[in-house]
Structure 1
Amino acid sequence: MTSLNTEAEYVEASNLLYRDPALYDAVQSDGASAGVCRTLIEAYRPDARTVVDFGCGTGRDLEILAERFECVGVDLQPGMVDHARRARPELDIRIGDMRSVRLRKRMDVVTCLGNSLAYVHDNEGIDLAFATFAAHAGPGALLVLCSPVAPITRTEPISATVDTPMGPATVTIRHEWDLRTQINTMYRHWELPSGDEARDEIRRRVLFPRELDHYVGGAGFEVLDMFDSPGGGLAGPTAYTVARYTRG
């Protein structure tokens, strides 16, 4: 396993939004994951009081969850954590690797949202991440994941307009799928309001639903639901998995 600093530097360098956490906050500002997470907690663990979020980024989801729960956030990237501490000083956000960090706390809810798990690409690392989730799960704790469950195989580029604090930007996106490694690579070309251009490359590991069943069960959790639409369907490419800790 590469060092925390080396891996964090690579992830940051490869993604424009991670290089500019303020831009990340502006572009990813809808809080949808936090809303889904709260709904799941109300449905499956209404007595929950504590939450730990692995891969919390700038803390935008954690900020919403902290309105109701006592929260701790963990992220690999120092730049994201530094921004989070400045923008949301009331939150408890720490630097750490979800494959190895131990907070010596067991929580009512363990979350890993925003496709953070997909940045762990190898099977050993995924096992370690789920061991971390289990190490922080109290009796009957809820696990909520948001991760890719099917690849985007479309190869033709698509373009979209993205609102930023400086004005609208145009981003052109192309995907590449490697079945052997199960890595979906997204290439983005940004045309920024300043007239500058930027490129980035995001590599995410797809875990198919049966694989998630395997990793979740191996860590001592029982899958309660898996869905990607409000009606409970599962078509991909990204889905929520909710599970309950059955050990301890």
Structure 2
Amino acid sequence: MSGLDIAEPRHLAASNLFYRDPALYDRVQSDSTSASSCRALVHRHRPDARTLLDLGCGTGRELELLARHFDCIGVEFQPGLVDYARRTRPGLDIRLGDMRTIRLDHTADVLTCLGNSLSYVHDNQDIQAVFRTFAAHARPGTLLVLCSSVAPIERDEPQEAEVEIGSDTAHVTITYEWDLRTQMNTMRRHWVFNSGEETRDVIRRRVLGPRELELYATLAGFDVLQISDEIGAGTLHGPTAYTVARYR
């Protein structure tokens, strides 16, 4: 759930509970299969890959799992997440940077952008800038693996959920709004913890349809190999999909 907006990092940290409490994010996402799905896609399309650059690496949780198989570098926009990742995962190489503009003078066999990080880039020009960053760190044959929103989440009634957080439990009420003109999906969450503490946060994600992803990738020099749910060969139901592309 990492990423960036045209807003300042402090503004995003104030709006997203997981940016304010990275340890909570790690606990909530402890059952995530993103790293394993990414590895399976890399094995399918680039089994000889040895180096990996992850843009929008968040707390480094997925990067830590990927680093068991690849020589990895991570880039993250939120200073609080970078500090947390360096403190809790000191073996990782994590850089503070904006994926619209960062240039590491380094290419990799695999580029990844997971956890809906791309969905936090809202402006068309900024999205193009991110794809230019992908291209700047690619060489012929480099594989790009994206996990991003491809369809909005729309529900008429609030969604209720119980979230296990270590020995604690939180009750979360979630509502969604969809703005077709801006292709913005807004998620508002009301958290009530067993301790009685309450907090609210807001997450805004830009939804890029599959054909848009193909266009941005093609303009940046990548050929799309598949856009699918998880690691499926062709199924696509949304709202999140994996896009795999190869640099020409």
Give yes or no for contact 1:155–1:176 (8 Å, CA) kept in 2.
no
Q: CA deviation at 1:184?
A: 0.1
Tell me whether 1:78 sits opposite 2:79 in the alignment.
Answer: yes
Corresponding residue number in structure 2 for 1:149: 150
Q: CA deviation at 1:84?
A: 0.3
Give yes or no for contact 1:144–1:241 (8 Å, CA) kept in 2.
yes
Corresponding residue number in structure 2 for 1:93: 94
The aligned runs of 1:156-195 (5 Å cut-off) are: 156-195=157-196
Identical aligned residues as a percent? 63
The aligned runs of 1:36-47 (5 Å cut-off) are: 36-47=37-48
Look up the SS of the partner of 1:154 in the other structure: coil
Q: In the superposition, relative to structure 1, how do residues 230 and 91 fare at CA in structure 2: closer, same or farther (>3 Å)? A: closer
Give yes or no for contact 1:166–1:193 (8 Å, CA) kept in 2.
no
Whole-Å Cα distance in 1 between the matches of residues 205 and 5 of structure 2? 18
Corresponding residue number in structure 2 for 1:200: 201
Q: CA deviation at 1:228?
A: 1.1
Whole-Å Cα distance in 1 between the matches of residues 231 and 37 of structure 2? 9
* Structure 1, unaligned runs of 5 or more: none
Q: In the superposition, relative to structure 1, how do residues 5 and 182 fare at CA in structure 2: closer, same or farther (>3 Å)? A: closer
Whole-Å Cα distance in 1 between the matches of residues 207 and 79 of structure 2? 25
Q: In the superposition, relative to structure 1, how do residues 17 and 37 fare at CA in structure 2: closer, same or farther (>3 Å)? A: same
Tell me whether 1:233 sits opposite 2:218 in the alignment.
Answer: no
TM-score of the aligned structures, taking structure 1 as reference length? 0.95
Whole-Å Cα distance in 2 between the matches of residues 39 and 7 of structure 1? 35
Corresponding residue number in structure 2 for 1:131: 132
Corresponding residue number in structure 2 for 1:119: 120
Whole-Å Cα distance in 2 between the matches of residues 215 and 173 of structure 1? 31
Whole-Å Cα distance in 2 between the matches of residues 91 and 208 of structure 1? 33
Q: CA deviation at 1:165?
A: 2.8
Letter in 2 for 1:91: L
Look up the SS of the partner of 2:176 in the other structure: strand
**How large is the Cα RMSD of the aligned pairs?**
1.5
Give yes or no for contact 2:6–2:122 (8 Å, CA) kept in 1.
no
Corresponding residue number in structure 2 for 1:66: 67
Q: Report the number of matched residues.
A: 244
Corresponding residue number in structure 1 for 2:224: 223
**Segments of 4+ moved more than 3 angstroms:** 3-6, 229-232
Corresponding residue number in structure 2 for 1:106: 107
Whole-Å Cα distance in 1 between the matches of residues 112 and 230 of structure 2? 19
* Structure 2, unaligned runs of 5 or more: none
TM-score of the aligned structures, taking structure 2 as reference length? 0.95
The aligned runs of 1:203-214 (5 Å cut-off) are: 203-214=204-215
Look up the SS of the partner of 2:122 in the other structure: coil
Look up the SS of the partner of 1:137 in the other structure: coil
